[in-house]
Amino acid sequence: MKVLVVYYSRTGNTKRVAEALVEALRKRKCDATLEEIVEGKDRSGLLGWLRAGRDATLNKETEIEEMKNDVAEFDVVVVGTPVWAFTATPAVVTFLRRYGGKIKKAAFFCTLNSKGARRALARMRKVSGKNPIARGFLATAAAESLIKCRDNSAVPQLHRLLQHPDPHIRTQTLSVLARHPEVADIQKVAPLSKQSPPVSIPALEILAKKGDASALEDIIAYAESPEGNVRAQALAALLNIGSQKALDAAHNLLKNEKDPLLRTQVALRLINAGRKVDADVVSPLLSHNSPVVRQSAILALAQCDGGKEILRHHLEREPDEILRRMIEKQLTEEK
């Protein structure tokens, strides 16, 4: 899904939220693009602030630069504004009037220090002529962007999404809480750990990060599942937890992992966590038919003890020119 996040920001608060939102959307495999609404008027300083409030109160439009991106090319356009005088900024109102007709689907957010959110969002809806979509992935991405900006106002909404009928949205919500376990309500998370994967595993990850030893054992059991997707999710959870016991479990399971790409991914993450991985666990994958698997194997071996010597012998046998250049680069870099 292609998502354009556009924003206007006077002090930088809305910009930070928009940047965090784009980052969160990209983690969800969205093709997310960020663009600022650039206004012609100078809004800096006390005088600029006073004029900003006046123009917003009078519902004035303003001059904005042409957008670099064509809003019509995106599946969803997310528009962010600070709240001035209990409403949306003139720059955002002007943007929505100019481009609202080209927007396929819209979503809105605002930043503020006091009140006016409802009025600002209602103004954006009226001016654009668009009813904002209610998408679970957008809601979780927006909530995570706020948490990263040290604003926990969206945490209650995250916990409400744990009751969503769509298991994918429940899983996305739990994944956000797993990345920020300090805001997770254990009483609301714990029941989901009894559901089937994929919902249960991020719930168990949260509980394990909170010190629940039995939750960690359950994740280890999932990591031995015959189902590849379940194993991948459970191994990722163990690596995310990062405790000695969790990393030991992932390390022990590595050599028996049948999925070649998953094996190289786990090896790389273990290496990045400071664990030594035996080159013999990864080297057989250099003969795999998939260039993607061989690429991951090359990256892992470059960081394994004795791995560069294996790569040196493999260099002439590697059929892919791009991968040969990658090996040459790895060999010239210091370990």
140 and 166 within one domain: no
pLDDT band at 56 (very low <50, low <70, confident <90, very high): low
Residue 195 belongs to a domain? yes
212 and 113 within one domain: no
The domain that holds 7 is classified in CATH as 3.40.50.360
Domain count, the chain: 2
Q: Helix (H, G, I), strand (E, B), or coil: what is residue 115?
A: coil
19 and 108 within one domain: yes
The domain that holds 200 is classified in CATH as 1.25.10.10
Please answer whether residues 264 and 297 qualify as being in contact, where contact means their C-beta atoms are separated by less than 8 angstroms.
Answer: yes
140 and 11 within one domain: yes
Q: How many CB atoms within 10 Å of residue 251?
A: 19
Residue 267 belongs to a domain? no
237 and 201 within one domain: yes
Residue 318 belongs to a domain? no
Please answer whether residues 36 and 12 qualify as being in contact, where contact means their C-beta atoms are separated by less than 8 angstroms.
Answer: no
H or E stretch covering 257: none
Determine the average pLDDT of the residues in 10-29: 88
Among 199, 222, 254, the domain boundary falls at 254
Lowest-pLDDT choice from 118-132, 230-244, 304-318: 118-132
Among 118, 144, 170, the domain boundary falls at 144
124 and 37 within one domain: yes
Please answer whether residues 141 and 133 qualify as being in contact, where contact means their C-beta atoms are separated by less than 8 angstroms.
Answer: no
Q: How many CB atoms within 10 Å of residue 108?
A: 23
Residue 36 belongs to a domain? yes
Query: Considering the chain, what percentage of its residues have pLDDT values greater than 90?
Result: 67
Please list, in sequence order, all residues whose beta carbon lies within 8 angstroms of the beta carbon of residue 46, skipping any fewer than 6 positions away.
none
247 and 117 within one domain: no
Domain interval for residue 68: 2-144
Residue-wise pLDDT for 147-204, tens only, equals 887 878 789 988 988 998 889 889 989 999 999 999 999 999 999 999 999 999 999 9
pLDDT band at 95 (very low <50, low <70, confident <90, very high): very high
pTM tops 0.85, yes or no: no
Residue-wise pLDDT for 156-166, tens only, equals 988 988 998 88
Determine the average pLDDT of the residues in 94-116: 89
Residue 185 belongs to a domain? yes
pLDDT band at 140 (very low <50, low <70, confident <90, very high): confident
The answer, yes or no, to whether residue 89 has pLDDT greater than 50, is yes
162 and 125 within one domain: no
Among 220, 254, 288, the domain boundary falls at 254
176 and 53 within one domain: no
